[in-house]
Amino acid sequence: MAGIISSVKGNSKIRLDNKRFAIVVAEWNEEITGALYEGAYQALRQLGVKEKHIIRKDVPGSYELPLGAQWMAEQKEVDAVICLGCVIKGDTPHFDYICQAVAQGIMKVNLRFGKPVAFGVLTTLTRQQALERAGGKLGNKGEEAAWTVVKMLEQR
């Protein structure tokens, strides 16, 4: 993934120092979503986004991410939204319903507002899998979500 960040930073078609980003973070599984947030935040800063242009919006859980994203996307000064959450499979079908609803909701916000809204939601079978994707041996999916919205902004 280092190639993605250097490609975006070195060859960006747009100025990032004047772009504003909202990061919507689910409080549920806070240890994991906090690490995802740090990854996204640091990636944006490394790409040249000003600290004051990064807005954090906390929501109770992943199910609430689409509405939080909508509230941020409604703001004219926000150029892109990053949604960060973590849903870990349990013993009931609750996991399937939550994951489907969150994915559909975030996709609808993308289309409704015509702004990049990244799906940085971990949908894992175990807590260990989530930790591996939140700064562990498989990287940080929060960073990837940040790179995704930047690449999408470049496409406009």
Can you tell me which residue has the tokens 């994991």?
32
Mean pLDDT of 113-123: 97
Residue 142 sits in which domain range?
28-52+64-127+138-149
Q: Answer whether residue 92 is part of any domain.
A: yes
Q: Answer whether residue 94 is part of any domain.
A: yes
Q: Answer whether residue 19 is part of any domain.
A: no
**Residue of 1, 31, 94, 100 marked catalytic:** 94
Global pTM exceeds 0.85? yes
Strands (E), 4-137: 21-26, 54-59, 80-88, 117-124, 134-136
Tell me, what CATH number does 33's domain have? 3.40.50.960
Q: Residue 27, SS3?
A: coil
Residue 94 annotated as catalytic: yes
CA atoms within 13 A on the CB side of 45: 9
Distance (Å, rounded) from C-alpha 16 to C-alpha 49?
5
Closest to 138 measured CA to CA, from 63, 45, 9, 35: 35
Q: Answer whether residue 5 is part of any domain.
A: no
Number of structural domains in the chain = 1
Closest to 81 measured CA to CA, from 38, 21, 150: 21
Q: Answer whether residue 15 is part of any domain.
A: no
Q: Which two tokens stand for residue 92?
A: 């009931």
Tell me the pLDDT tens digit for each residue of 29-70: 999 999 999 999 999 999 989 999 999 999 999 999 999 999
Q: Answer whether residue 38 is part of any domain.
A: yes
Tell me the pLDDT tens digit for each residue of 19-29: 999 999 999 99
Q: Answer whether residue 142 is part of any domain.
A: yes
Distance (Å, rounded) from C-alpha 143 to C-alpha 15?
19
Q: Answer whether residue 2 is part of any domain.
A: no
